[in-house]
Amino acid sequence: MVLKPMIGERIPARVRLMAAALVPAAVLGLTPCPVTAGADGTVIGTVEIRRSHSATEARPASAGLGASPRRPVEFRPAVVYLDSAPSRAFELPEPGRASMDQRDQTFVPHVLAVTVGSTVDFPNSDLTFHNVFSLSKTKAFDLGRYSRGKSKAVRFDRPGVVQVFCDIHSHMSAYILVFAHRYYALTDPSGRFAIAGVPPGVYTLAVWHEGEVRETRSVTIPDSGGDVETAFVIR
């Protein structure tokens, strides 16, 4: 579900969260897929984004005096992952730790991808207060207001998509994708990606971008392993 306001309509931040809250955990690769003996392969490719991004809302007056000027979000990567993951994918490594900074009234990075059990830190690098929160079903939280130099953390223990907002600055938003396996990759600024260590088998490869799965297709890793190339164009 993606909220599509009419031209000129302003949707409160907490209402916009309902879109992310309805994303099922199944889209993040919870379907096991049988594997065969053979050498592991790597899925490599590109994702070309031809969709235009909506303009970011103007900064509200509540931003406070002395706040840094807001910079636009320039890089919004796609996340490519195996929707039908190999059965051994659920042997997760030790939970990791990641960081989503609040800088120039922007979440940096705009998209994070982590495995179940990981902890994400939310440091505040701005002169103004922030209040990071989410109402997503995967992980609802509210960190309250905190000032520059402070940081708070959240552990993500369920797979799914979490949309993150600031309760003070309505234009701030970001995504955290929580996976039950390790077969995923974010695209780099050139649109390239690589998912390594994939055992032989037939899988469904999915491309997520800005709140939705935009495209899926089948990929086959042969018994001999090696690189399997593919390319997506997201319109």
Helix/strand/coil (H/E/C) assignment for every residue in the chain = CCCCCCCCCCCCHHHHHHHHHCCCHHHHCCEEECCCCCCCEEEEEEEEECCCCCCCCCCCHHHCCCCCCCCCCCCCCCEEEECEEEHHHHCCCCCCEEECEEECCEEECCEEEEECCCEEEEEECCCCCEEEEEECCCCEEEEEEECCCCEEEEECCCCEEEEEEECCCCCCEEEEEEECCCCEEECCCCCEEEEEEECCEEEEEEEEECCEEEEEEEEEECCCCEEEEEEEEEC
* Residues 65 and 178: beta-carbon distance below 8 Å: no
Residue 86 maps to a domain: yes
Predicted local distance difference test score (pLDDT) of residue 95: 80
| Ordered per-residue pLDDT tens for the chain, 235 residues | 333 343 334 444 444 444 444 444 445 655 556 555 678 999 999 999 988 765 444 444 344 444 445 555 468 999 999 998 777 666 666 789 999 999 999 999 999 999 999 999 999 999 999 999 999 999 999 999 999 999 999 999 999 999 999 999 999 999 999 999 999 999 999 999 999 999 999 999 999 999 999 999 999 999 999 999 999 999 8
The reply to whether 66 falls in a domain is no
Residue 8 counted as domain residue:
no
Position 158 in a domain: yes
Q: What is the pLDDT of residue 37?
A: 60
Q: What is the pTM of this model?
A: 0.79
Residue numbers of the domain that contains 24? 13-52+72-234
Within a domain: residue 64?
no
The tally of domains found in the chain comes to 1
Q: How far apart are CA 158 and CA 115, in angstroms?
A: 9
pLDDT of the residue at 10: 41
59 falls within a domain: no
pLDDT computed for residue 58 by the predictor: 40
**What CATH number did the domain enclosing 137 receive?**
2.60.40.420
40 domain-assigned = yes
Any domain includes 102: yes
